[in-house]
């Protein structure tokens, strides 16, 4: 019975992507530092080629073989990794990446540059190497002849079940050595004792090669943990003496083997800390089950405390406390499985910085910290695009040209830093450049021209900088294919808000700019304020809450018969009643504004007051997806189960605002854009779509 190796395809393709990242990182490090770890770079390409050949991905294997050959020339000193060679090797990574993606999606690859890159790489091989790429006589490697090796290869019986094939290993060796094969049948059992899924043969391989032992060992890299492999070097042979000395050297040195590689010694420690691949849906299911366990534990505790005499049952209560502690620790441990180092996001940017800087004729020193700060994988996936845009923006708008930097007394090479660190319960990501900084005067003037602010308004520099997040806002003098159209920064802010995060800007003209992004560690758990409206509990994300107040009757105005606003410290804030936003069957909830609580939240730089009956307190809850368990509900991002078994709804503030604007026909964003206050706290309005009232309108309106 044959083994279906297609079950290993997904794992190989994922591993190939990881090898590609190592390949790219190695090339960029080589170009930046001038010191290339050619063995590591070659090993990454070789792993992709070997795996692709094993699993039948011939297009990937054939193309990567050319890449591998170029890298081998570099290892042999025949080819120098100059900028031209590195550029073509980086382009080859794009080709391989598309081949891998096409294999994942079972489609034909769409790569226009494949043939062009293939020809360029072929030109770096053999006699087609350009004159400027050829090594000088001084640094050309000396031919040291060849070596003879014996390789004792004993596969574990189950090796074939991992998708590996001995014939592929031998073919790999035959590309770099002359191989004499002896098949041994010592371990073959009687026919009726055989297991069709197991291997019983072993091999003695005699190799004659000019390649180093390390390259020979790489042919066995996929089976190192599933076999016993022993290398014995028989001889180093000078070509001029080969005919006279070969027989004598082989007979004498075979008695004293050296350089022996035992079964899995180098990988014993690695195996203890090795990773296992687990499907994301399995992890999510585990997190959901642990969330249910936490909830059930809380419900059990509540019911026990209601039904027993606390004084007489201290041991039981102590056991429950221990169970609570262990359950919480279990939940935190399970949540940690979803955490990934930011390196997975950071690793894509050095290549982008290099290519963008070359396109704009700028010199950039791109610096990142180790990227080991961890975030939920979902957050990492969604933050990559905003980071990409901010870094591209820093290259295009922030860093000056080399000529302008020298004229300003700076070094011609600009610096961009991407660093991440923990702050409290959040992760902060800073994007810092030493470019020309933001011009607050130019930004303010542009905002006035676009009708976003009154020319006499008094704003802090921080508030002025936030205008760059408005759709279509740009102070660029020219539009490039990198940026300058004002498209993107608004999406950056929106995406960060969608992650329950925030972004702040600090800048000094002529010195540089820093964008600071603060993100929650995970989207699976939310810190919120539990509130009550009638019989229903709502969770409001704590990150968005500015303050909560007890409204006074004379501070509430009604405009246009349906828009309520709350006057707080010289500012009118739209008031949304959750009772009206989410109508229930009983439609219970307070009506009198003075009896409830107004929670001031900030959404997309706009403040909104949410009216609720009462505050229940802060808590941390596990989010349950409404789409998976019920159906999407506008204004709600999910639900959770509280300790008493009741369901609490988690408010999606942006969705709630959008829904209220549509139903009540007023625009909070227009309020935020066009409504500012002078020193006398009188309302200043403009001829826009904003329905925020003027002072006269407020005085004429009916007070609740």
Summarised one tens digit per residue, pLDDT across range 439-457 is 999 999 998 988 888 888 8
Tokens of 484: 């300058």
Of the residues 24, 31, 59, 68, which is catalytic?
A: 68
Predicted confidence at residue 140, as pLDDT, reads 39
> Could you report the per-residue pLDDT of 527-562, keeping only the tens digit for each?
789 999 988 899 998 878 889 999 888 888 887 666
Alpha-carbon span 251 to 634, nearest angstrom: 82
> CA-to-CA distance for 432 and 391, rounded, in angstroms?
9
| pLDDT of 599 | 93
Identify which of 350, 364, 703, 395 has the alpha carbon closest to the alpha carbon of residue 554. 703
Task: Work out the percent of the chain whose per-residue pLDDT is above 70.
Answer: 80
Q: Is the pLDDT of residue 249 over 70?
A: no
**377/229 Cα distance (integer angstroms):** 38
**For residue 128, what pLDDT band results from cuts at 50, 70 and 90?**
very low
pLDDT given for residue 534 in this prediction: 87
* pLDDT at site 583: 64
Structure confidence by residue, pLDDT tens digits, 211-223:
788 778 878 877 7
Q: How far is CA 507 from CA 244, 365, 548, in A?
A: 76, 19, 32
CA angle, 38 then 207 then 127, to 5°:
50
279-304 confidence digits (pLDDT tens): 778 887 888 788 778 777 877 887 78
Q: What pLDDT, on the 0 to 100 scale, is given for residue 90?
A: 92
| Residue, of 160 and 576, whose pLDDT is higher | 576
Please confirm, yes or no, whether 144 is among the known catalytic residues: no
pLDDT single digits (tens) 173-197 = 887 888 888 888 888 888 888 888 7
pLDDT tens, residue by residue, 136-171: 333 434 445 678 888 899 988 888 776 677 887 888
Q: Is the pLDDT of residue 584 over 70?
A: no
CA dist 233 and 250 (Å) reads: 10
Buried b (16+ CB within 10 A) or exposed e, 137-174: eeeeeeeeebbbbbbbbbbbeebbebbbbbebbeebbe
Q: Which CATH class is domain 146-266?
A: alpha beta
If phi over 0 gives left and psi between -120 and 50 gives alpha, with beta otherwise, what is residue 617? left
pLDDT at 353: 93
Ordered by start, the domain boundaries in the chain are: 5-133, 146-266, 281-337, 341-520, 525-700
584 vs 438, higher pLDDT: 438
d(CA 681, CA 569): 8
246 vs 34, more confident: 34
145 vs 644, residue with greater confidence = 644
pLDDT at 3 over 80: no
Q: Which residues contact 258 (CB under 8 A, 6 or more apart)?
A: 232, 233
Q: Residue 126: is its pLDDT beyond 60?
A: no
**Cα distance between residue 677 and residue 657, in whole Å:** 22
**CA 421 – CA 339 distance, rounded (Å):** 14
Query: Is 471 in the active site?
Result: no
Q: Which residue do the tokens 């190695």 mark?
A: 26
Categorize the per-residue pLDDT at 258 as very low, low, confident or very high, splitting at 50, 70 and 90.
very low
Measured in residues, the chain has a length of: 704
- State the average pLDDT for the chain: 77
688 pLDDT band (50/70/90 cuts)? very low
Query: Angle CA(603)–CA(608)–CA(611) in degrees, nearest 5?
Result: 130
Residue-level pLDDT at 478: 52
Q: Residue range 245-258: average pLDDT?
A: 46
What is the pLDDT, as a whole number, of residue 477? 54
Residue 665 pLDDT more than 80?
no
Q: What is the pLDDT averaged over residues 109-126?
A: 84
Known catalytic residue: 65? no
| pLDDT value for 391 | 94
341-520 topology per CATH: Heat Shock Protein 90 (3.30.565)
Residues 6+ apart with CB under 8 A from 680: none
Q: Give residue 29's pLDDT.
A: 85
pLDDT above 70: residue 260? no
User: Is 228 in a helix, a strand, or coil?
Assistant: strand
pLDDT at 265 over 70: no
Which residue in 631, 383, 360, 408 sits closest to 491, CA to CA? 383
pLDDT in tens, 387-421: 999 999 999 999 999 999 999 999 999 999 999 98
Residue whose tokens read 């990574």: 93
DSSP β-bridge partners for residue 513: 433, 507
The residue annotated as part of the active site, out of 393, 500, 544, 664, is 393
- Name which residue leads in pLDDT, 380 or 371: 380
Of all helices (H) and strands (E), which one includes residue 699? helix 695-700
Q: What average pLDDT does the segment 117-121 reach? A: 88
What are the CA-CA distances from residue 46 to residues 15, 62, 82, 410, 680 (Å)?
Answer: 12, 12, 21, 43, 72
Q: Distance (Å, rounded) from C-alpha 445 to C-alpha 456?
A: 11
Active-site residue, from 46, 397, 470, 674: 46
How far is 506 from 495, CA to CA, in rounded Å? 20
What is the average per-residue pLDDT within 71-89?
86
Does the pLDDT value for residue 674 go beyond 60?
no
**Residue 493: pLDDT over 90:** no
Residue carrying structure tokens 């059990």: 300
C-alpha distances in angstroms, 621 versus 333, 500, 615, 643, 650? 16, 15, 16, 10, 9
Q: Give the per-residue pLDDT at 475.
A: 65
Report yes or no: 120 and 133 within 8 Å, Cβ to Cβ: no
Structure-model confidence comparison of residues 608 and 145, the more confident one: 608
- Closest Cα to residue 502, out of 428, 452, 606? 428
Q: Residue 61 and residue 63: Cα distance in Å, rounded?
A: 6
pLDDT digits (tens, 9 = 90+) for 39-56: 888 888 888 887 887 778
In this prediction, residues 606-627 reach a mean pLDDT of 84
Q: What is the pLDDT of residue 271?
A: 38
Residue range 320-342, pLDDT digits in tens? 888 888 888 888 788 788 888 88
CATH 1.20.120.160 fits 5-133, yes or no: yes
Buried b (16+ CB within 10 A) or exposed e, 640-656: bbbeeeeebbbbbbbbb
Give the residue-averaged pLDDT of 468-490: 64
For residue 111, is pLDDT > 50? yes
């Amino acid at each position: 019975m044959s083994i279906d190796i297609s079950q290993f395809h997904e794992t190989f393709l994922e591993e190939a992507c990881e090898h590609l990242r190592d390949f790219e990182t190695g090339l960029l490090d080589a170009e930046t530092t001038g010191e290339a770890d050619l063995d590591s770079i070659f090993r990454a390409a070789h792993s992709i080629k070997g795996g692709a050949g094993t699993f039948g991905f011939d297009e990937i294997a054939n193309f990567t073989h050319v890449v591998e050959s170029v890298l081998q020339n570099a290892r042999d000193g025949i080819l120098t990794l100059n900028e031209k060679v590195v550029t073509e090797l980086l382009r080859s990574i794009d080709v391989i990446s598309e081949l891998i993606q096409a294999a994942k999606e079972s489609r034909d690859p769409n790569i226009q540059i494949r043939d062009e890159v293939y020809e360029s790489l072929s030109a770096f091989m053999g006699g087609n190497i350009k004159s400027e790429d050829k090594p000088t006589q001084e640094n050309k490697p000396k031919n040291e002849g060849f070596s003879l090796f014996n390789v004792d290869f004993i596969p574990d019986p189950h090796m074939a079940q991992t998708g590996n094939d001995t014939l592929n290993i031998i073919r790999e060796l035959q590309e770099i050595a002359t191989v004499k094969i002896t098949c041994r049948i010592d371990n073959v059992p009687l026919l009726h004792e055989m297991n069709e899924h197991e291997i019983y043969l072993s091999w003695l391989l005699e190799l004659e090669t000019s390649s180093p032992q390390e390259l020979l060992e790489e042919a066995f890299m996929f089976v190192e943990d599933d076999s016993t492999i022993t290398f014995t070097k028989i001889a180093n042979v000078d070509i001029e003496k080969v005919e006279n000395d070969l027989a004598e050297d082989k007979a004498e040195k075979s008695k004293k083997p050296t350089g022996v590689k035992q079964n899995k010694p180098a990988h014993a420690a690695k195996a203890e800390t090795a990773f296992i691949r687990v499907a994301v849906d399995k992890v999510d299911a585990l997190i959901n089950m642990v969330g249910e366990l936490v909830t059930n534990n809380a419900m059990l505790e509540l019911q026990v405390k209601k039904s027993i005499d606390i004084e007489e049952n201290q041991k039981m209560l102590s056991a429950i406390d221990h169970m609570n502690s262990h359950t919480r620790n279990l939940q935190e441990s399970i949540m940690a499985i979803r955490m990934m180092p930011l390196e997975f996001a950071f690793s894509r940017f050095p290549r982008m910085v290099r290519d963008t800087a070359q396109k704009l004729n700028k010199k950039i020193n791109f610096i990142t910290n180790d990227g080991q700060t961890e975030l939920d994988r979902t957050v990492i996936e969604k933050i990559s695009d905003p980071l990409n845009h901010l870094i591209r923006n820093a290259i295009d708008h922030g860093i000056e040209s080399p000529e302008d930097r020298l004229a300003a007394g700076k070094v011609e090479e600009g610096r961009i830093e991407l660093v991440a660190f923990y702050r409290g319960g959040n992760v902060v990501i800073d994007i810092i450049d030493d470019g020309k900084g933001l011009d607050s005067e130019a930004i303010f003037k542009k905002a006035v021209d676009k009708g976003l602010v009154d020319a006499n308004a008094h704003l802090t520099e921080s508030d002025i900088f936030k205008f760059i997040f408005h759709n279509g806002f740009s102070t660029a003098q020219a539009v490039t294919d990198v940026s300058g159209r004002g498209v993107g920064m608004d999406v950056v802010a929106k995406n960060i808000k969608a992650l329950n995060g925030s972004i702040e800007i600090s800048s000094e003209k002529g010195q540089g700019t820093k964008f600071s992004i603060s993100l929650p560690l995970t989207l699976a758990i939310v810190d919120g304020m539990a509130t009550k409206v009638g019989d229903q509990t709502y969770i409001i994300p704590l990150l968005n809450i500015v303050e909560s107040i007890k409204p006074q009757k004379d501070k509430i105005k009604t405009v246009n018969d349906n828009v309520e606003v709350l006057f707080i410290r010289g500012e009118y804030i739209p008031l949304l009643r959750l009772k009206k936003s989410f109508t229930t069957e009983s439609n219970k909830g307070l009506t009198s504004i003075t009896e409830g609580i107004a929670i001031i939240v900030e959404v997309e730089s706009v403040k909104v007051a949410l009216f609720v009956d009462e505050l229940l307190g802060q808590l941390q809850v596990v989010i349950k997806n409404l789409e998976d368990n019920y159906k999407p509900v506008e204004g709600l991002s999910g639900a959770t189960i509280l300790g008493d078994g009741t369901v609490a709804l988690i408010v999606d503030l942006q969705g709630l605002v959008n829904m209220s604007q549509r139903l009540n026909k007023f625009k909070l964003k227009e309020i935020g854009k066009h409504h500012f206050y002078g020193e006398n706290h009188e309302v200043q309005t403009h001829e826009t779509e904003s329905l925020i009232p003027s002072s006269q309108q407020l005085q004429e309106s009916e007070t609740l």
